Structure 1
Amino acid sequence: MTGFDTVLVVDWSAACKRASQTPSKDAIWLGLVREGEPQEPIYCRSRIEAEACIAALFEQEMKAGRCVLAAFDFPFGYPRGFARAITGSVDPLLLWDWLAARIEDSGQGANNRFDVAEKMNAAFDGPGPFWGKTHRDRWPGIPYRKTGILYDEVPEKRTCDRIARTSSSCFQLCYSPTVGSQMLMGVPMLSRLRRMEGVAVWPFEHWRTARVVLAEIWPGTIERVVRQAVAQRGPGAIRDREQVRLLSLALSRLPDARLGDMMMDLPSEAAEEGWVLGVGYEEDLMRACDDQLKPPPLRDDCFALPAGVDWTPVGDALALLRARLRAVVGQEVVPLGQAAGRVLAGPVVAQRANPPEANTAVDGYGFADDSLGEGDQVLPLVDGRAAAGVPYPGAVPPGHAVRVLTGAALPEGVDTVILQEDVTLGEGRIAFRGGLKTGANTRRAGEDVEAGATVLEAGRVLTPADLALCAAVGLADLPVFGRLRVAVISTGDELVEPGETARAGQIYDANRPMLTALVGQMGYDVVDLGRVADDRAALRAALDRGARQADVILTSGGASSGDEDHVSALLNEAGAMAEWRIALKPGRPLALGMWGGAPVFGLPGNPVAALVCTLIFARPAMAVLSGAGWHAPQGFDVPAGFEKRKKPGRREYLRARIREGRAEVFRSEGSGRISGLSWAEGLVELPDGPAEIRPGDAVRYIPFTSFIGP
């Protein structure tokens, strides 16, 4: 079993005094995630307090029916040979009990760890293995420095420490990092905790059916993201707090299969020395906790136009958005089967070649081409065959052939395959005409993808075909950006919900159903915040909800500068408003701003203009915010099936569709004609300058699917 409901990560301290009442680094921190929800890290001032807190938490979680993975940041075992020297047995848990019977601790932090270490040093010839102490003139059996310790009776480090390149050994008692002292003060606590019913120790015991599993972790496995988190929080950030918060989050978000890989199939040394959970899987852990490390919010002035700008051409507006926006979502690791439609957060590297080994492309007979003579051939057949997934068990001798089926690995001694249709089959032999090229009808190993090759780049929206490729090259899960959450708000006293009774002067809200459907088609999570009347306080509350629940906010209506245009008024109040007067038809006013760290796109209230502004501006901007990079729709030059004269000054978008190879446009350009949106299948884009379009002239047609698709 690896399906844990609760993850606890403990940063253990070996300090000789009780920590301050104010949270500090010289204390014990507990990071906790329960059923996927991160809890506030717990601060403990002493080891006695922490042990009581952990034991109570175990009882609480087991009583609630939850299974717990509890990870501690100190070694669970010593290098091979040490336990036998102390207890006469290689069983590390006997050493746990030996230490628990001798280590003394107090609620104020005073302890006898140096006395116990000195006693253990006496079991070895020469100085050490423990070294480092607080006083040069005390504990004469403990060297003050490591100089002169040979580590010939026991290694200085465990196997997993060497692989992970951990910073110090479990024999170092002083001078940061004091892993040896942490272990001496932590192992007795673990010895007591493991005696609780339902608790087991990984990897020393049968742990798969336990209610609580104790495991060893090393914060260095996520060092990069810890540094980022501390830097983002700025002065006053407590590193130990960030470590337990992020490690608990990372472990809780790992797919069960990946966590199972970490906990199983360990080398034999782990049975005596223990093992650091996550060694070899550092990138998995860092990606799993990266979504708590969201990039800092966009600047409040990121939408500000250059001084003196009035009317903004469409191209300039798009260039400003592209230059000033970036991803605002975090990252996570998801199983391959859940990755379709997600945005890849990092490059994907093939774990194995595709195909992994040379194989046959057809049903036929395989042989070594250089063993053939000139002209027609007659070859004896060896017994057996090679089939996909069932390789031939031996080597094919020169001058012999073997039956092969499509997809079978080429047996040793085979480099060429002849189609079964080109062979005459006799009793135990085949005959065929010569002239076949070496390597015919075979696929070489890695001819599609070589092991170690980058197969997909970051920013790609993953398709079903991408998942097939990833599976073929041995990937079980993928790093992806979190889903962009988009809040949608309709504003206006005149709006009523479809299906309700509309009074005089009221209209049905057409924008919200359209925008929420568009957002969903784009692959984002929709946060529908409903309709808001022309009431500034109500709209402020709705924007506050949007900033809490979403990464970006789309509003429709109230984006201009009239008496009831509350969207632009509130953004102005917040000091983060930019009214972009776009040289565009339809949809000139576009209010852009920030609210509570979330970018706001204030769309026009007219449904036609709202749709056009969403597709032209909000869509590529949201692609950047989602981590996918700038999305430019693919247009096509097609003959016009209409006639149109256009004045200079504004770029125009006409509702259009393709019929009989020509672009036809809706009969009316009126922006209130919502039926034209349903009629159309795309837009015809007319340039900023003057234009005179006649039937047959080339025009740029952009299908709606090109705007919406990846």
Structure 2
Amino acid sequence: MNRFDTFAMLDWSGGNDTGPRPCRDAIWLGVTRDGVDEAPMYLRNRAEAEAALVALIAAELAAGRRLLIGVDFPFGFPAGFARGLTGCDNPFAVWDWLETVIEDAPGGNNRFDVAGEINGRFPGVGPFWFNGLKREIAGLPRKDTRAGHGMTERRAAEARAKGAFTCWQMGGAGAVGGQVLTGLPVLNRLRRRFYGQVSVWPFEVLDKPVALVEIWPGLINAAVKPLGEIRDAHQVRLMARALARLPQEQLAEMLAVDAPEEGWILGLGYEAALIAACDDVLKPPPLRNDCFALPAGVDWTPVDDALALLQDRLRPVVGQTRAPLAQALGRVLAAPVTALRANPPEANTAVDGYGFAHASLTAGDQTLPLVEGRAAAGVPYPDSVPPGHAVRVLTGAALPEGVDTVILQEDVTLGAGRIAFRAGLKPGANTRRAGEDVAADAPVLAPGRVISPADLALCAAVGVADLPVHEQLRVAVISTGDELVEAGHPARPGQIYDANRPMLLGLVEQMGYAPLDLGRIADDRAALRAALDRAAEDSDAILTSGGASSGDEDHVSALLNEAGAMAEWRIALKPGRPLALGLWRGVPVFGLPGNPVAALVCALIFARPALRLLSGAGWSVPQGFHVPAGFEKRKKPGRREYLRARIRQGRAEVFASEGSGRISGLSWAEGLVELPDGAVTIQPGDPVRYIPYASFLSA
């Protein structure tokens, strides 16, 4: 009976009340219920923590949910301790004994005295050590001078858990001895309060609605290290998530432990599985099946209306994680970033020169004695500069105490132990104020930003080592059609080389996404269905080319229709027009035209902003520029047109042919000229909107 609905992880503390504000050395509770994480709960003392556990157990029992509570201190001691203390090997006898002798209140407890009393029941010196009080305690050494007590130093579990502390150490960073002595009485009271409803692992069979287990957050240390802030809060949150996500059979395997006296650490030996399961990835809900549906009665859709519908109905589909700066370039920021410290962190000099207090200057030209030493970047001047004195400073050096103004070395005459310079220097000259660029705790980057090299520099300067980012959007690319053959392979009569797939894969990569090449699929519905199934499994969005209309061999639109999530948008656009949009197993599909010119234009105009939104970067419009036309053109009303174009001698020139089969025009061009929906006559010199290819990739 190992299936649990709720996982609650507790980070314990043997210290005193930590006050109303969350802090590191406190008690933290993390809960994952039915697969959903709750925010970690700060508990300022053990009385508050015990009350929280009582309320949690009562609530889960009332709701009929099975609850697993993990606590981060040992449930037992090395073999032989229970008999030495209580006369029997039952670990619960130790729990009962400790409950009778531990006196605990938010302001303090008697754990050190109890440790000394226990030591008196064993031969030699020990086994407990470390006295954190100002008074001496009989039998409890302040340092590890123990000998002859007869106990092993570690349980079998700690001997295998690298970095785990022995339960005999009563204080110091990472020590758990005090936590055991103050924690076991609390667990014992919970057993009695909820008698018959709580099992303790591994001492009892887990056949009750509530299970108490021993954990050690050090097992998932690699997942917690990069997160910063209050480490204990992250530990309980991620450990609860990890255990909740594990397959039931793997959790059952972890619980299959025989340690009837010493106890065991849950998950020991399964560290890799726990770390993988606690990966901080958030997946949004799937897209609705009608997200591409057009309003009733709409046939031909203007470009702007189609874009507005996409923007309104799509949502980000990628999870979130954290990435170190070295791996964050080009990723999409998932949450705001604030400065961990100011930039500059302290006032410093902007030039090589001499620093002094401006208020100590007199009227007219100045002569100031120099103090010995200097201030350099990374090597501050160690003393205060007296009024009326100057100190040698180098660019970037922190301003010493007593210095608020710097004069350029070129403006100074240097003598033996003194400098001379003209009057007229303003207070604060040639210095930088602390935080004049960025103040500590100030926002520096907003969500949705695509991280640039300059952003990396800014984050590093304000002490941010890793960033909350969206997972990289994965985009599958499929070409369809019997007529296609791979470039470089023999082509039969009637076959053409597949130009769309390399073009679209390159476009996806240039946009910063992870391309998945699913190859060329013949006009075979079963083969295309299998390719779409794989794409839906391994990607977040799918680009297909060809088969998007309503002909006999247009299998993309046919399969999307079969799936009940298909919309064929007849867009008032040249080149392009038919654009099949739909969902395949919850993954958005963009069915692009088979013609390479139309495929690229539709990908840039429609797929590109949609993919940005799906990636978490938000919706954006590519930046265009109004430039003089280097061509003439008469256009009829009814649809928007995009002409392959480039800038030469300050004017936009367009490709000689508008034929949608002229692939060479795509390579010749460096962008597109956008002509409006209505009728227009363009003469050379008239302003037209030119959108460089780069704007589609960087906006």
Alignment TM-score, normalising by the size of structure 1: 0.69
Q: Which amino acid aligns with 1:548?
A: E
Q: Which amino acid aligns with 2:81?
A: W
Q: What aligned pairs does 1:131-150 form with structure 2 within 5 A after superposition?
A: none
Q: Equivalent of 1:201, from 164, 171, 188?
A: 164
1:76 counterpart = 2:65: no
1:336 counterpart = 2:320: no
Comparing 559-568 with 291-300, greater Cα deviation is found at 291-300
Determine the structure 2 residue equivalent to 1:165.
Answer: none
Q: Which amino acid aligns with 2:640?
A: R
Determine the structure 2 residue equivalent to 1:460.
Answer: 449
1:192 counterpart = 2:156: yes
Q: Is the 8 A contact 2:158 2:166 kept in 1?
A: no
After superposition, the C-alpha distances for 1:558-589 in whole angstroms (9 at most, x for unaligned) are 00000000000000000000000000000000
1:608 counterpart = 2:588: no
1:473 counterpart = 2:454: no
Q: 1:416 to 1:475 in 2, by over 3 A?
A: same
1:306 counterpart = 2:295: yes
Q: Take 1:566 and 1:248, find their aligned partners in 2: how far apart are those partners? A: 53
Any unmatched runs of 5+ in structure 2? 10-34, 36-68, 113-151, 170-178, 184-208, 243-274
Q: Is the 8 A contact 1:334 1:477 kept in 2?
A: yes
Q: What aligned pairs does 1:30-45 form with structure 2 within 5 A after superposition?
A: none
Deviation at 1:149, TM superposition (A): 9.7
Q: Take 1:584 and 1:366, find their aligned partners in 2: how far apart are those partners? A: 67
Q: Is the 8 A contact 1:254 1:288 kept in 2?
A: no
Q: Take 2:611 and 2:460, find their aligned partners in 1: how far apart are those partners? A: 29
Q: Is the 8 A contact 1:253 1:288 kept in 2?
A: no
Q: Is the 8 A contact 1:287 1:332 kept in 2?
A: no
Q: 1:149 to 1:708 in 2, by over 3 A?
A: closer
Q: Is the 8 A contact 2:158 2:165 kept in 1?
A: no
Q: Which amino acid aligns with 1:665?
A: V
Q: Take 2:312 and 2:219, find their aligned partners in 1: how far apart are those partners? A: 33
Q: Which amino acid aligns with 1:119?
A: W
Q: What aligned pairs does 1:124-273 form with structure 2 within 5 A after superposition?
A: 124=102, 128-129=103-104, 152-154=109-111, 191-196=155-160, 199-202=162-165, 253=223, 258=226
Deviation at 1:293, TM superposition (A): 2.7
Q: Is the 8 A contact 1:249 1:289 kept in 2?
A: no
Q: Take 1:27 and 1:336, find their aligned partners in 2: how far apart are those partners? A: 33
Q: Take 1:353 and 1:648, find their aligned partners in 2: how far apart are those partners? A: 57
Deviation at 1:341, TM superposition (A): 0.4
Deviation at 1:592, TM superposition (A): 0.2
Q: Is the 8 A contact 2:631 2:652 kept in 1?
A: yes
Determine the structure 2 residue equivalent to 1:17.
Answer: none
1:674 counterpart = 2:663: yes
Q: What aligned pairs does 1:277-356 form with structure 2 within 5 A after superposition?
A: 278=235, 292-356=281-345
Q: Which amino acid aligns with 1:153?
A: N
Comparing 96-105 with 636-645, greater Cα deviation is found at 96-105
After superposition, the C-alpha distances for 1:310-348 in whole angstroms (9 at most, x for unaligned) are 000000000011111111000111111110000011100
Determine the structure 2 residue equivalent to 1:636.
Answer: 625
Q: Which amino acid aligns with 1:573?
A: E
After superposition, the C-alpha distances for 1:265-295 in whole angstroms (9 at most, x for unaligned) are xxxxxxxxxx88748999x999995754300
Q: Take 1:558 and 1:326, find their aligned partners in 2: how far apart are those partners? A: 26
Q: 1:709 to 1:433 in 2, by over 3 A?
A: same
SS in 1 for 2:515: strand
Q: Take 2:670 and 2:350, find their aligned partners in 1: how far apart are those partners? A: 43
Determine the structure 2 residue equivalent to 1:441.
Answer: 430
Q: What aligned pairs does 1:22-101 form with structure 2 within 5 A after superposition?
A: 23-25=3-5, 73-76=70-73, 98=81
Q: Which amino acid aligns with 1:98?
A: F
1:517 counterpart = 2:506: yes
Deviation at 1:75, TM superposition (A): 2.7
Deviation at 1:664, TM superposition (A): 0.2
Deviation at 1:596, TM superposition (A): 1.0
Any unmatched runs of 5+ in structure 1? 1-19, 30-40, 42-71, 79-92, 106-110, 130-147, 156-187, 207-215, 219-238, 264-274
Q: Is the 8 A contact 2:227 2:234 kept in 1?
A: no
Q: Is the 8 A contact 2:333 2:448 kept in 1?
A: yes
SS in 1 for 2:71: coil
Q: Which amino acid aligns with 2:110?
A: E
Deviation at 1:536, TM superposition (A): 0.3
Q: What aligned pairs does 1:618-657 form with structure 2 within 5 A after superposition?
A: 618-657=607-646
Alignment TM-score, normalising by the size of structure 2: 0.70
Q: Take 2:532 and 2:219, find their aligned partners in 1: how far apart are those partners? A: 29
Q: Which amino acid aligns with 1:73?
A: G
Q: Take 2:344 and 2:555, find their aligned partners in 1: how far apart are those partners? A: 60
SS in 1 for 2:659: coil
Q: Is the 8 A contact 2:77 2:155 kept in 1?
A: no
After superposition, the C-alpha distances for 1:394-428 in whole angstroms (9 at most, x for unaligned) are 00000000000000000000000000000011110
SS in 2 for 1:705: helix
Q: Take 2:611 and 2:214, find their aligned partners in 1: how far apart are those partners? A: 33
SS in 2 for 1:613: helix
Q: 1:276 to 1:616 in 2, by over 3 A?
A: closer
Q: 1:500 to 1:104 in 2, by over 3 A?
A: farther
Deviation at 1:709, TM superposition (A): 1.6
After superposition, the C-alpha distances for 1:619-673 in whole angstroms (9 at most, x for unaligned) are 0000000000012100000000000000000000000000000000000000000
Q: Is the 8 A contact 2:368 2:388 kept in 1?
A: yes
Q: Take 2:400 and 2:297, find their aligned partners in 1: how far apart are those partners? A: 75
SS in 2 for 1:73: strand
Q: Take 1:205 and 1:154, find their aligned partners in 2: how far apart are those partners? A: 12
Deviation at 1:253, TM superposition (A): 4.5
1:597 counterpart = 2:554: no
After superposition, the C-alpha distances for 1:525-574 in whole angstroms (9 at most, x for unaligned) are 01000000000000000000000010000000000000000000000000
Report sequence identity in percent.
67
Q: 1:240 to 1:153 in 2, by over 3 A?
A: closer
Deviation at 1:103, TM superposition (A): 9.9
Q: Is the 8 A contact 1:496 1:507 kept in 2?
A: yes
Q: 1:298 to 1:26 in 2, by over 3 A?
A: closer
Q: 1:316 to 1:385 in 2, by over 3 A?
A: same
Q: Take 2:279 and 2:554, find their aligned partners in 1: how far apart are those partners? A: 39
Deviation at 1:262, TM superposition (A): 8.6
Q: Which runs of 4+ in 1 moved over 6 A?
A: 26-29, 93-97, 100-105, 203-206, 247-250, 259-263, 279-282, 284-288
After superposition, the C-alpha distances for 1:202-223 in whole angstroms (9 at most, x for unaligned) are 59899xxxxxxxxx9x9xxxxx
Q: Take 2:610 and 2:278, find their aligned partners in 1: how far apart are those partners? A: 25
Deviation at 1:118, TM superposition (A): 2.6
Q: Is the 8 A contact 2:224 2:234 kept in 1?
A: no
Q: Take 1:381 and 1:650, find their aligned partners in 2: how far apart are those partners? A: 77
Determine the structure 2 residue equivalent to 1:683.
Answer: 672
Q: Equivalent of 1:390, from 361, 364, 379?
A: 379
Deviation at 1:116, TM superposition (A): 2.8
Q: Which amino acid aligns with 1:123?
A: V
After superposition, the C-alpha distances for 1:228-280 in whole angstroms (9 at most, x for unaligned) are xxxxxxxxxxx999x999x999755556xx389999xxxxxxxxxxx887489
Determine the structure 1 residue equivalent to 2:95.
Answer: 117
Aligned residues: 531
Q: Take 2:664 and 2:337, find their aligned partners in 1: how far apart are those partners? A: 45
Determine the structure 2 residue equivalent to 1:484.
Answer: 473
Determine the structure 1 residue equivalent to 2:16.
Answer: none
RMSD between aligned residues: 3.8
Determine the structure 2 residue equivalent to 1:535.
Answer: 524
Q: Take 2:71 and 2:79, find their aligned partners in 1: how far apart are those partners? A: 13
Q: Take 1:248 and 1:119, find their aligned partners in 2: how far apart are those partners? A: 29
Q: Is the 8 A contact 1:658 1:664 kept in 2?
A: yes
